Amino acid sequence: MKEAAPLAVQMRGIHKRFGAVKANVDVSLSVRAGTVHGLVGENGAGKSTLMSVLYGFYQADSGAIAVNGQEVDIRNADDAIALGIGMVHQHFMLVETLSALENVMLGAEPHWLLRRATAQLRGKLEALMQSTGLQVQLDALVADLAVGDRQRLEILKALYRGARVLILDEPTAVLTPQETLQLFEVLKGLRQQGTTIILITHKLKEVMALCDFVTVMRAGQVVQELPIAAATMESLAEAMVGRKVQMGRLDGDVHQAGEVLLSAQELELRDALQVLRLSNVSLELRAGEIVGIAGVSGNGQSELLDVLSGLLAPSKGELTICGQVFTPAHWLDPQTARKLGLAHVPEDRHARALVMDFCAWESAVLGYESLPSFSRGPWMRIDAMHQATVDMMERFDVRPRDTALLSSKFSGGNQQKLVLARELGQTPKVLLVGQPTRGVDIGAIEFIYSQLRAMRDAGCAVLLVSSELDEILALSDRVIVMNQGRIAGELDIADCTEAGLGLLMTGASQ
């Protein structure tokens, strides 16, 4: 029945270039009304550019767009909104100092009297939340909302403005698995109500679970468009990258664990409100192994990374790294950690791994600028830093290879590869990695996996924190499960199953 539905959006022969870069080359896309249509491809494939043309952020150099069978001229976002097209961007467009309700009202006030406008909007939003399941605390400041709530607010904002075609750009990139499931239930409900959804993503599991149709883009062109029933994850991955992709656990992938390089004993951490975040956590990391930390987000994994990397000092416990002992009174700091050979890839690359207004070469040496190769006394060796960045970009395939480009201008996947290149480039003895493939496309994921395995095989002790259970199972030699700030269990990878780990993650006994 969905295949016979009329076309909500049709884009024909879209060309868009930025200087010498051809972002879209003769792209045609047909999206049927009342369906979820996946738009997949690697970072830089042209997906977001194409949808930005549909939403009026960019003007196509040539081509045509039809909405509900009528050819239209979309010159800006106002034109798109008037045609019933809404877009939720990967990085939310919200004012953090305003309430949720004020964010929805901003620029779309229903009345010139503020009190009356607020009352009218509140009534409409409460009805909309009831019908869609998009529950948000309307009077809460956006700064106080969780990421999942901000996502729901962005969708509410688009629906309030009359969106019948909803474009979602990487909507689950920063969501927990639980928030992702909640979002999917909402999207299924919107589809049943007749909303057309275009889902830009690189997560093929989500495409297979949610979409009715899928279009694959590569290098600015459409290479495949088909019903989801005719697709498999393997075929979509191959179409995206242009070759077969190895994503799961490698056959015969065995490790030989060596000496203990990091040992943590009975760590306890309380936050500023004295809430217990880590309780009696003990673990060992050995040379030549990857230890995965599994758990539902918010169960102490992030705090564990912060304590082990020296960003937070615990209230109790002891840490030994390469023979040097630290106690809460004299805890590890990041500079000492680097001297001991401990590298850290933070979970949030924007907040903790990069300075977005720095050039690539500055971000590529961040934290390592005092190394002899990068400085001579008080003087920095800028040329050496540039050359090191060139080498990193070549080795880790960071695109574009422009050392002067602002860090903010790289795609998420290329930002992540730049951070990994910096931290792995010093050949650390211990590597702490948080969410290594969050917001990263499938080709880059395969590359990152290979680099982490290579570090392990070279004798590095790797601690991997990931919300993706598939990732934990694909990479780990040993798995530690956390629940409510405690270690709920520890298993060799040969003894791990999704069901068994799931029980431990929820606090059930093994």
The encoded tokens of residue 428 equal 């650390």
What confidence tier does 508 reach under pLDDT thresholds 50, 70, 90? low
Q: What is the pLDDT of residue 202?
A: 78
Q: What is the pLDDT of residues 223-254, one digit of tens each?
A: 999 999 999 998 998 999 888 877 667 766 66
CB 73 within 8 A of CB 83: no
Is the pLDDT at 89 greater than 90, yes or no?
Answer: no
- Sorted by where each starts, the structural domains of the chain and their CATH numbers stand as 2-241 (3.40.50.300), 260-341+428-505 (3.40.50.300)
Residues 298, 77: Cα–Cα separation, whole Å: 37
CB 367 within 8 A of CB 310: no
Between 440 and 355, the more confident residue is 355
CB 273 within 8 A of CB 279: no
Is the pLDDT at 151 greater than 70, yes or no?
Answer: yes
Between 243 and 451, the more confident residue is 451
Q: What is the DSSP string of 166-178?
A: EEEESTTTT--HH
Which of 492, 448, 505 has the alpha carbon at shortest distance from 471? 448
Is the pLDDT at 3 greater than 60, yes or no?
Answer: no
Q: What is the pLDDT of residue 105?
A: 82
Cis peptide before 378 (omega within 30 of 0): no
Share of the chain above pLDDT 70, in %: 95
Q: What is the pLDDT of residue 251?
A: 65
Residue 180 has a CB neighbour count (10 Å cut-off) of 19
The three-point CA angle 33-39-40 to 5° equals 160
What confidence tier does 432 reach under pLDDT thresholds 50, 70, 90? very high
Three-state DSSP class for residue 274: coil
Q: What is the pLDDT of residues 259-280, one digit of tens each?
A: 999 999 999 999 888 999 999 9
What confidence tier does 510 reach under pLDDT thresholds 50, 70, 90? very low
What confidence tier does 2 reach under pLDDT thresholds 50, 70, 90? very low
Q: What is the pLDDT of residues 379-393, one digit of tens each?
A: 999 999 999 999 999
Residue recorded with tokens 């530690």: 480
Conformation bin of residue 310: beta by default, left when phi > 0, alpha when psi is -120 to 50: left
Residues 362, 207: Cα–Cα separation, whole Å: 37
Q: What is the pLDDT of residues 308-364, one digit of tens each?
A: 999 999 999 999 999 999 999 999 999 999 999 999 999 989 889 999 999 999 999
In this prediction, residues 124-153 reach a mean pLDDT of 87
Q: What is the pLDDT of residue 53?
A: 96
**Mean pLDDT of all residues belonging to the chain:** 90
Residues 247, 490: Cα–Cα separation, whole Å: 24
For the chain, the farthest-separated pair of C-alpha atoms sits apart, in whole angstroms, at: 72
Strand partners of residue 263:
284, 320
The encoded tokens of residue 236 equal 């979509």
Q: What is the pLDDT of residues 27-85, one digit of tens each?
A: 999 999 999 999 998 877 899 899 999 999 999 999 999 999 999 999 999 999 999 99
Q: What is the pLDDT of residues 388-425, one digit of tens each?
A: 999 999 999 898 899 999 999 887 788 999 999 999 99
Residue recorded with tokens 């009528």: 70
Residues 211, 4: Cα–Cα separation, whole Å: 16
